[in-house]
């Protein structure tokens, strides 16, 4: 009888919490930390007893002593090494990508640059809520694959990222959600639609500053 794994999951976004709650129950006991406060409290007296610590869309710096003394795995919704950094979903959709991947990778001291453990593709088509539903499904599949392999072999096979393929983006700001009036003549129909759907709720919606200076928020479009 194999003793279940002891896994800590750090996730505060809805999609991250959904993944955490979908992980296979037969493999591990999970401690889900749903906020920075829960994370701080838990790690105050932590004695490195977790088999794995998972970070799903986590936005805070993780101290070196945790990264160096534990198996820390991050989840990033892009086909790393592409679209490292902030707002990966928005940046991919706006760039016109139609297929992405959930990447599981070993955390390192460099942002989203750790060795890749597993990637599971998903489609970027449709509305943002549909994209997030697919991320949850693909991420759950990827995590299950990784955790079952680890439970069986105690091994994690990781491949370094190809630095020549890498790209980095900063987190988007609300001001970047503007569609300028001239964009309506220079953007293609697809580019307009992609910008609107990439910035649906709960993100700062695409907006137009009209000739009277008033902002108009474009919440839903179709092509």
Partner 1 sequence: MKTLFLAYRQWALDVYPRIKKHPKISEMKLCTTHEELVAANPESYDLILTCGWSDELYDLANKVQAIGVHCAELDRYSYGSPIQLQILDGIKYTKHRIFPFKWDATSKRAHTHTREYSHETVLDLTGGMKDILHQMTETSVVLFNMFLDDYPNQIVWKQWPEEELVRPKRNPSDSEIKDISRMTARQIYDFIRCLEDPYPNAFIKDETGTVYFKNVEFKE
Note whether 129 binds partner 1 by CB under 8 A: no
Query: Which of 32, 44, 73, 61 minimizes the C-alpha distance to 156?
Result: 73
Residues 14, 131, 32, CA angle at the centre, nearest 5°? 25
Give the x-and-dash track for 4-23 against partner 1 (CB under 8 A).
--------------------
Which C-beta is closer to partner 1: that of 75 or that of 94? 94
Q: Nearest distance from residue 1's CB to partner 1, in Å?
A: 55
Note whether 193 binds partner 1 by CB under 8 A: yes
Residue 187: strand pairing partners: none
The one among 184, 198, 199, 203 contacting partner 1 by CB under 8 A: 184
Q: Nearest distance from residue 175's CB to partner 1, in Å?
A: 17
* Sheet strands side by side (includes 116-123): 28-33, 5-11, 52-56, 72-76, 99-106, 116-123
Q: Which one of 33-41, 107-115, 140-148, 188-196 is the stretch in contact with partner 1 (CB under 8 A)?
A: 188-196
Which C-beta is closer to partner 1: that of 148 or that of 215? 215
Cβ density class 175-207: b for 16+ within 10 Å, e for less: ebbebeeeeeeeeeeeebbbbbbbbbeeebbbb
The one among 189, 198, 199, 204 contacting partner 1 by CB under 8 A: 189
Q: Nearest distance from residue 166's CB to partner 1, in Å?
A: 30
The one among 44, 110, 154, 211 contacting partner 1 by CB under 8 A: 211
Note whether 202 binds partner 1 by CB under 8 A: no
Which C-beta is closer to partner 1: that of 162 or that of 190? 190
Note whether 214 binds partner 1 by CB under 8 A: yes
Which residues, 6+ apart, have CB-to-CB distance to 147 below 8 Å? 5, 7, 23, 24, 27, 28, 52
Residue 24 backbone phi and psi in degrees, to 5: -65, 120
Note whether 222 binds partner 1 by CB under 8 A: yes
Residue length of the chain: 223
Note whether 174 binds partner 1 by CB under 8 A: no
Note whether 188 binds partner 1 by CB under 8 A: yes
- Please answer whether residues 98 and 182 qualify as being in contact, where contact means their C-beta atoms are separated by less than 8 angstroms: no
The residue ranges that bind partner 1 (CB under 8 A) are 181-182, 184, 188-190, 192-193, 196, 205, 208, 210-212, 214-223
């Amino acid at each position: 009888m194999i003793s279940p794994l002891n896994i800590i999951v750090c996730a505060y976004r809805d999609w991250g919490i959904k993944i955490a709650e979908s992980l296979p129950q037969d493999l591990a006991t999970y401690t889900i930390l749903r906020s920075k406060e829960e994370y701080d409290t838990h790690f105050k007296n932590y004695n490195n007893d977790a088999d794995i610590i998972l970070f799903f869309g986590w936005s805070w710096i993780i101290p070196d002593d945790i990264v160096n003394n534990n198996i820390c795995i991050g989840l990033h919704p892009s086909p790393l090494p592409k679209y490292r950094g902030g707002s990966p979903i928005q940046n991919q959709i706006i760039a016109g990508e139609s297929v992405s991947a959930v990447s599981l990778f070993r955390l390192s001291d460099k942002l989203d640059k750790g060795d890749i453990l597993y990637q599971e593709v998903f489609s970027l088509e449709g509305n943002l809520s549909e994209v997030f539903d697919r991320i949850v499904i693909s991420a759950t599949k990827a995590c299950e694959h990784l955790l079952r392999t680890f439970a069986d072999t105690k091994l994690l096979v990781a491949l370094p990222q190809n630095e020549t393929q890498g790209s980095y983006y900063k987190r988007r700001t609300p001001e970047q959600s503007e569609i300028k009036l001239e964009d309506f003549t220079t953007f293609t129909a697809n580019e307009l639609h992609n910008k609107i759907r990439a910035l649906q709720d709960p993100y700062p919606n695409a907006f137009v500053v009209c000739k009277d200076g008033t902002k108009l928020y474009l919440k839903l479009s179709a092509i």
